[in-house]
Chain A
Amino acid sequence: MTSSTLRPASDYPPGGDAFRHRHLIGIAQLTPWEISYVLDAAEQWVDLNRSGAAKHDDRLAGLTIINAFFENSTRTLLSFEIAGKRLGADVVNMHAAQSSVKKGETLIDTAMTLNAMRADAMVIRHGSSGAVQLIADKVDCPVLNAGDGRHEHPTQALLDALTIRRRLGRVEGLTIAICGDVLHSRVARSNILALTLLGNEVRIVAPPTLTPPAIERMHVTTFTDMDEGIKDADVVMMLRLQNERMDGAYLPSAREYHALYGLTEKRLEKAKSDAIVMHPGPMNRGVEIDSNVADDPVRSTITEQVEMGVAVRMACLDILTRRKRGVVGWN
C-alpha cells in the first residue's frame, strides 16, 4: 500500500456529505469520490485486521446487525459477520432455508418482522433483482446489499477496487478485462459500474450466449475471443461459472468452455506481464481458471480479495451507522 493513494480527509466534503446515502443498494447510486471515500476508510481496517491478536474496535458496540440471506452463501455471510463482530456489533444471521420464507410469507412481511426487532443495520442477499431495494424502502435502518439477483453486489466491487488499488497503486486509467458469465453476474454489473466510474477501460469477454444485451451502453467494449479480450490488460477478472449454465442451454460443455474461455498460464501471457488475476470465488478450478494461475502468489489476488472484503464491509457498516450513532457531522 502506497500512502499516496490515500486522500487527505480534507479532500472530501465534511461529515455526512462525504457519503450521502442511507443504504448501500448499488454502485449505480455512488459518485467516484464516494467510492474513494469508502476505499480510504477501509485502509485502516486492513491495518487493524493484520495487527496481530486484538482485532477489535468497539465503535458499533450495542448495535444489532441482522444478516438476512435469502440465498445461500458461505463466504459473503461469513465476511459480513466477521466485519460486524470486529466492530463490536451484535450480529445475527438469518438463513432463508430455516425461515418462514419457505412457508410462503412474502418478502415484505419478512422484512417488516425483522424491522420490528429493531435492527440497527440489515445486510441482505436475495436471489431476485431489486429485492433489496424493495426491503430498504420499507425498513427504518440502513440496508446493505449483499447481492440481489443479477443486479448488484456493491461490496464485491468495492473490495475488488481496493484490491486493485493496493496491488497496482491506482484504480484509474487501467485496462480491465471481466471474463465469463457476465449475463448472470451481479459481480460483473457492480464492477462495470465502479471501474468505469473510476476512469478505467473495461472490457467484457464472454461467449455471445452469456453477454447481456446492450451491455456496450454501460461503456464497455465486448469481446468473444478471450485472447483478444485480455490482450495488454492490467487486470484479468474472472467470473464464476455456475454449473447449471454448462448443461447445453448456454454452453455446450465445461470442457469446451475451458478450451475457449478458461484462463490458462499460456493465455495469461497475452495480458501485461505484471497483470493481476482476480476471481470473486468460489472457483471452478480447471473450468474458468487453471490451478497454477489461481495459485500464483505474484499474480493471483484471490485470497487478498477475501481479506479486503472484510475491511471494506467494516468500512461500510461503520459509515452507514454513523447517523444512528450520532457521529459528529452525520445527522
Chain B
Amino acid sequence: MTTTPVEPEALEAAFEATIARHDRIEPRDWMPDAYRRTLVRQMAQHAHSEIIGMQPEGAWIGRAPSLRRKAILLAKVQDEAGHGLYLYSACETLGVSRAELTELLLTGRQKYSSIFNYPTLSYADVGTIGWLVDGAAICNQVPLCRTSYGPYGRAMIRICKEESFHQRQGYELLMTMMRGTDAQREMVQESVNRFWWPSLMMFGPPDADSPNSARSMAWGVKRNSNDELRQKFVDMTVPQAEALGVTLPDPELRWNEERGHHDFGEPDWEELAAVIRGDGPCNAQRMAHRRAAHEDGAWVREAASAFAERAGAR
C-alpha cells in the first residue's frame, strides 16, 4: 500500500482544526510534541496522586470504628487504586511505558498532588478528606471529562462517577460525628481547620503564577483556570459547612453581593511551594512507603511472570 507523505504544516493544521471544533484527539493521531509532553506530565501526575492518595486514608482502615465504616473505607481506597490504573493506562496510549511511569514516581522525578503530604491525625480526617479533598478533586476533574485528549476524558468520566461516592461518604461520616458528643464535634472542627487551606491549594498556584496554564487551555487540555475552579469550590463548600455546623478557618471569608461570589483569604503560597519542593510534613514518609510497597511486591510480579511463562511453554 502506498502512503503519501504528509507535510508537517498540514498535520499541525489538522490537529489545530480538531481542537478548534472541540473534537477529541485520539492516540494514533498526529500531535505536537509539546502537547504530548504536557499530557504525559499532567496524566502521570494525576495517576501518581491516586496511588499515593491511598496512603493517608489507608492508614485508618485497621482503626475504622465499625465494620460498616471499614467496608466503606476499603471500597474507597480500592477505588483510588482503580483510578490510578485508569489514568496510567490512558497515559500509556501516549507511548510511555508503565515501568517508566513507576520509575519516575519512585525516583521523585514526577510529582503527585501536594495534598497527600499532609498527615491524617484523627479519624475525622477520613470524613474531611472525602468532603473537602475529594470535593476539590471533583471541581478539578469534572471539566476534565471534556478535555481534548480522548483517553484522558474517558478515564475522567469513570473517575468522576466514583468520586461522588467518595465525597458523600465523607460528608455523611462528618454529619454522624456532628450528631455525636462535644469531643467528636471538636474533632471534626479541628480536622476541617487543618485541611481547609491545603484543599484550596489543590487548585494550584494563582493564575498569574501558573506559566503553563494558558497553553493547556488553548489546547483544550485544561478547561478552566486555577482561580476560577478555586472560587467555584469555595462557593460550593460554604453552604455545606453551614449545614454541617462547622466554621471554615478564614476570617476574610464572606459573601460579596456585587461579585455574586464569596471573597476569601489568600492561601499560604510559600507553604504550597515548600510541600511541592518535598518539604511537606509527610513527603518522605509517603515516598518511602510507596518504594517499600513496590519492592515488597516484586516477588509477586516475578512469580506471576514465571507462572505465565511455564503455562505458555506447556
Q: A and B: real partners?
A: no
Q: Which residues of chain A have a CB within 8 Å of any CB of chain B?
A: none
